[in-house]
Structure 1
Amino acid sequence: MQDIAEQVRAWHAAGRSFAVATVVGVSGSAPREPGAALAVSADGEAVGSVSGGCVEGAVYELCRAAILSGEPVLERFGYSDEDAFAVGLTCGGVLDVFVQPVVPGADAGMDAGLELLADGAPVALARVVDGPGDLLGATLAVTAGGHRGTLAAGPSTTGALERAIAAEARAMLDAGRTGQVVLGLDGRPCDERGLGTVTWFVESCVPAPRMLVFGAIDFAASVARIGRFLGYRVTVCDARPVFATKRRFPEADEVVVDWPHRYLDSQRGRIDGRTVVCVLTHDAKFDVPLLERALRLPLGYVGAMGSRRTHRERLAKLREAGLGEAELARLRSPIGLDLGARTPEETAVSVAAEIVAHRRGGSCLPLSSGEGPIHHEAAPAARPEEPAPRTHAA
C-alpha cells in the first residue's frame, strides 16, 4: 500500500470510503510481489495495480462489491488451461488478493496506519486475511515503540493474540520484511493454517533504501538518475566542492561535500542491509579508505569503478589495510554487468542491472536462454500454502 499511500490518505482525509485490494501471497511466475495494491474509491476512481493488467478488471469489481457489502474477501487468481476465458494470470503464476473495505473513522488501526504512511514514518500494517469471521480485516498499525488499534471484542479475540502479532510485526518491520504470519488464537505460532488459526498479512512500510554514489563524475549523474528511478534515495558525495553541486546532479536527493570515508562514518545509523554503495572515483586516495569501511559494514551491495588493473591494485591495498578474503569477495569490481556499455547512460544501466540481479538472485543470463521461471521466488516469510482461499481460475 506504500506506493498509493498519498492518494488513499487524501480519500481518507476527505471522508471518502474506499476498498484496498492487496497482494498477500504469490507463487510461480506472478507479476507483482506481496504488498502491491489497487485501491478503488466509492465513486469508482482507481489507483495502483495488483497484476500489471492480467486481473485488474476482476479485482476492480471485487473492490466495488466490498464497498457496498462492507465485507472483506480473500480471492485467488491463477491460470486455467481448461477455460481460456477464465479470469487468471497468463504468466501461469498465482496471486492471493485480499480486498478490504475502508471507512474513515471505523478502524483505529487502519486510520493510524494511513496517517503514518502519509507521513513517511516506518510502520507495519498487520491485517487478518484468513481466520474467524469476527477477526477478518482487523488491522493493527505497529511501530518500533508500540501499536495502534485493537482487536474488537468478540469470541475469537484474545489479548495474547494481539500481543503476539504486534511482536511479530515489530520484528518484521525492523528487518523490512513483508509476508504472512499464522498464529493460533492463543497467540502461538502455527506451522499451517487450520481450525483455530489466524493468518495475518504483515506489510512493512519503511523509508526508501539508500544509494550512496561516491565520485562527482559524469557517470555519477546517470547512476543517480537510474538509482532514483529504481526507488532509492540517492546521495552523491565528493570531497571536491567545485564538482559536487546540485546543479550537476539534479536527480540526486542530496549532494554532499565531504571525504567519502568520513561521510560513510557519519551515516552508520542510517544505513542497513538494503543500502547500495557505488564507488566511481577510481582514485586510491578516496577509494581505499572508503572501501576499507564499506566492506566491513552489512551493506546490500558495494561496487567500485575502474579497470581490471585498478581493481588488482585496489585489492592489494585493501589486503594491506587488513581486509580478509571474505570481505574482499563482497566487492563488485569492475562495477556493473558486461553489456558492452560505453556512454554514462549505458554504464548506469549496467550498474543498475547488477544491483537488481544481486538483490533478486538473478543469473544475469538472457531470459531467452533458459526454461525456468522468469520471476525468482522471494525468501519465505511464514507463508503456508493450504488451505487455499476461493479461486477464480486454477
Structure 2
Amino acid sequence: MVSSDNILDLVSSMKGGSRPFAMATVVRTVAATAAKPGAKAVILADGSIEGGWIGGGCARAAVLKAAQASLEDGRPRLVSIQPMDLLKDQGLRPGDERSGIAFAKNMCPSQGTMDVFVEPFLPQPRLVVCGASPVAVALARQASGLGLALTIAAPPAELATFPGTDGSRLDTYDLAALPAGERFIVVSTQGKGDSAALKAALSVEADYVAFVGSPKKAAALRAEMAEAGMPPARLEDLRAPAGLDLGAISPEEIALSILAEIIQVRRRGQRRQLARADDSASRRLP
C-alpha cells in the first residue's frame, strides 16, 4: 500500500496506462474523523484501493461507490459524508445530490462530516489505423493533436510508410492485445489485406469501426464477412464509407472527415452518459 505522502507519484506513474482509476482527496472535515484534509487515495474500477488512505470503513464505502460511479461516466464528484441527523436537518437523504454535491451517511460513532473530491483518470481514447494507404498516413499524422493515443497496424514492410509518427505499432492485424479503453478503428488498407484487416477490426470490442473505400467495395466485404459467420450486429456497426460527408477529396481531407466522425461519435456517447446520470440524480431528489 502506497502512503498518502507518495500518492502523487503513484498517480503520475499510472497516468497514460490502460487502467482507469480515480483519485479521492479529503477536502474538509468537521468534528472528529479518521482522515484529515489532504488525505488521498487511488481507487480502481473494481472498488479496490491501489494506494493511499481516506479513512476507515464507515466513510470509505461511500467514497468507493462515488469513485466507481465517476469512472463509469467520466465526471468528477464531490461527496459529503454526514451523520444521519445532520442530513435530516437539511432535508436530505443518503444518495441525494444537490448543487453538485452527492450526500452519503456517516455510520461511524464519531459522527463527523467529511467532504471528499473524487477525480477520474481514464485511459486516452485510442485510434487504431489498419493499413498504410495515404489516408492511413494522414490519419496518423492528424491524430496527435486531438488527444488520441495511436496504434498503427500494418504488415512489417509497410510500417516504414509512417516515419517519425508517434504511437505504438503492430506488424499484424491481430488486435486482440490492444489496451483496454475507448477504441476507434479505421481500416484503410486500399486493397492490400482488406478482408484480414476488417475481420480483425470487427472481432474486437470497439466504439467505432470504419472502412475507407467505395460503397461497392464495402458491400462486398460485408457480404464476405457475413458468409464467414461475422455476427450481424457487428456488421451493422461498420461505418462505410468512413467519415462525415464533407465533400472530401484529398487523403488529408478524408482523414479530417473521419476524425470529425470519431469526435461526433465519442461526444454523443458522453452526452448520453451525462444525461442518464443527471436524470438519475434528479429522480433521487426529494
TM-score, scaled relative to structure 2: 0.72
Residue 349 in 1 paired to residue 247 in 2? no
Q: Match of 1:275, as an amino acid?
A: R
Q: Secondary structure at the match of 1:119?
A: helix
Which residue identity lines up with residue 320 of structure 1 in the other structure?
E
Q: Name which of 118, 126, 148 aligns with 2:12.
A: 118
Map 1:238-249; keep pairs closer than 5 Å.
238-241=154-157, 243-245=158-160, 248-249=162-163
- How far 1:168 sits from its partner (Å)? 4.6
Identity fraction in percent? 30
1:368-383 paired onto structure 2 within 5 Å? 376=271, 379=274, 380-381=276-277
The corresponding residue for 2:75 is 178
Aligned-pair distance for 1:338?
A: 0.7
For each residue in 1:109-156, what CA deviation from the matched residue of structure 2 results, as whole angstroms up to 9, or x when unmatched?
3x43421232244541113467748766543222465243333xxxxx
Structure 1 position 194, deviation (Å) = 5.7
Classify the secondary structure of the residue corresponding to 1:202.
strand
Contact 1:276 1:302 in 2 (8 A): yes
Query: 84, 96, 108: which one pairs with 1:191?
Result: 96
Q: Would you say how many aligned residue pairs link Structure 1 and Structure 2?
A: 251
Counterpart-to-counterpart distance in 2, 1:195 and 1:142: 18
In structure 1, runs of 5+ residues without a counterpart are 1-107, 152-156, 363-374, 386-394
Instruction: Tell me the secondary structure at the aligned position of residue 264 of structure 1.
Output: coil
Distance (Å, rounded) in 1 between the aligned partners of 2:221 and 2:253:
25
Structure holding more helix per residue: 2
Aligned residue number for residue 146 of structure 1: 49
Q: What code does the residue aligned with 1:119 have?
A: S
Shift of 1:167: 5.3
The C-alpha deviation readout for 1:333-376, integer Å capped at 9, x for no partner, is 100011111122211110110000011119xxxxxxxxxxxx95
Q: Helix, strand or coil for the counterpart of 2:59? A: helix
- Provide the secondary structure at the position in 2 that maps to 1:297: coil
Counterparts of 1:377 and 1:256, CA distance in 2: 33
Question: Structure 2 counterpart of 1:271, which letter?
Answer: A
Alignment gaps of 5+ in structure 2:
85-92, 107-113
CA distance in 2, matches of 1:249, 1:186: 60
- Is 1:330 aligned with 2:237? yes
Secondary structure at the aligned position of 1:281 is classed as coil
Q: In 1, Cα distance between the equivalents of 2:141 and 2:66? A: 36
Match of 1:47 in 2: none
Match of 1:250 in 2: 164
| TM superposition score normalised by structure 1 | 0.54
Q: Structure 1's 334 and 194: CA in aligned 2 closer, same or farther, altered over 3 A?
A: closer
Are 2:281 and 1:281 equivalent residues in the alignment? no
Q: CA RMSD in A?
A: 3.6
* AA matched with 1:160: C
In the alignment, the residues of structure 1 paired with residue 76 and residue 198 of structure 2 have an alpha-carbon distance, to the nearest angstrom, of 34
